[in-house]
Amino acid sequence: MSNHSIRIGVMAPSTCSYLANQEESVAVVLDPELHTDRGYGFLVQSGFRRSGNNIYRPYCNACTACHSLRVDTRGFVPSRSQKRHLSQLKRLSIEFKDQMDTDWFSLYERYISARHRHGSMYPANKQDFRSFVQSDWQTSKYLHLYEDEKLIAIAITDVLENGYSAIYSFFEPDHCWSLGSLCVLAQIEQARKHGIPWLYLGFQIDACSAMNYKQKFKPHQRYVAGSWIDGDQF
């Protein structure tokens, strides 16, 4: 499949969601034969990402700020703060499920209302959410975090041949712990447990403060100009 020619469609430029005074455009994969779990696994290794049934990556004329980032789960070395988070994680129950708990939407609704009230996902809508995170052809798992049997976080994770891809997470918005970071650490732990070498965290944009948490998980690599490069070079 490495010699496969990929047909793409390029979307018209629009206002960038992450960087001020920038426009964004994306390349969308058109080949139906690549819209499979195996095809997507190949494309993820080439810097692509999934939203619903669509596979895409940035295709901007004047900007190259977006880099796909993946964490080396086998070599992962936690920082001092991440060691503290891991201690917190040990106090929670973790379950990697094929479906979300039936009460997932109330947690999601609280999260969106508190954290993304001014974003495009507000107000929370079940069908919109499912269209965003689920796919007709991709196998996903749902990592659940429980505190004293209460659901406090869910991380949607695509299961690939050679990696996990973190699609989206939501959590109790008023919790005193950094549940977003705990979700990533729990995904790394699951990857190590199942012999999965990479956790793909989506796109890293250094100038976007909301994304800076991704580069704190080391060692990691970034996909730049067609190659995966050690993150320490940035």
At 98-127, the pLDDT tens digits run 999 999 999 999 999 999 998 889 999 999
Whether 55 is in a domain gets the answer: yes
Distance CA 124, CA 109 (A): 5
Q: Is residue 1 part of a domain?
A: no
Q: Do 146 and 153 touch, CB atoms closer than 8 A?
A: no
Residues 227 and 148 in one domain: yes
Q: Are 42 and 78 in the same domain?
A: no
Residue type, 151: L
Rounded distance between C-alpha atoms, residue 226 and residue 69, angstroms: 13
Same domain? For 22 and 128 the reply is no
Q: What is the pLDDT of residues 134-169, one digit of tens each?
A: 999 999 999 999 999 999 999 999 999 899 999 999
Look at residue 3 and tell me if it is in a domain.
no
Task: Report the C-alpha gap between 166 and 140 in whole angstroms.
Answer: 10
Residues sharing a CB contact under 8 Å with residue 205, sequence separation 6 or more, in sequence order: 18, 19, 65, 66, 67, 211
Q: What pLDDT is attached to residue 17?
A: 87
Q: Which of 27, 44, 65 is the last residue of a domain?
A: 65
Q: What percentage of the chain's residues is helix, strand, coil (to nearest 5)?
A: 30, 30, 40
Structural domain containing residue 58: 8-65
Decide which of 44, 65, 86 is a domain's last residue: 65
Based on the structure, what is the number of domains in the chain?
Answer: 2
Tell whether 34 is covered by a domain: yes
Same domain, 101 and 153: yes
Q: Which two tokens stand for residue 230?
A: 């050690």
For residues 183-190, average pLDDT: 98
Same domain, 143 and 50: no
Determine, yes or no, domain membership for 168.
yes
**Residue where a domain stops, chosen among 37, 65, 93:** 65
Nearest to 89 by CA among 230, 186, 209, 199: 186
User: 20 and 124 in one domain?
Assistant: no
Whether residue 72 contacts residue 198, with contact meaning beta carbons closer than 8 Å, is answered with yes
Residue 61 burial (C-beta neighbours within 10 Å; 0-12, 13-18, 19+): exposed
pTM as predicted: 0.95
Residues 38, 76: one domain?
no
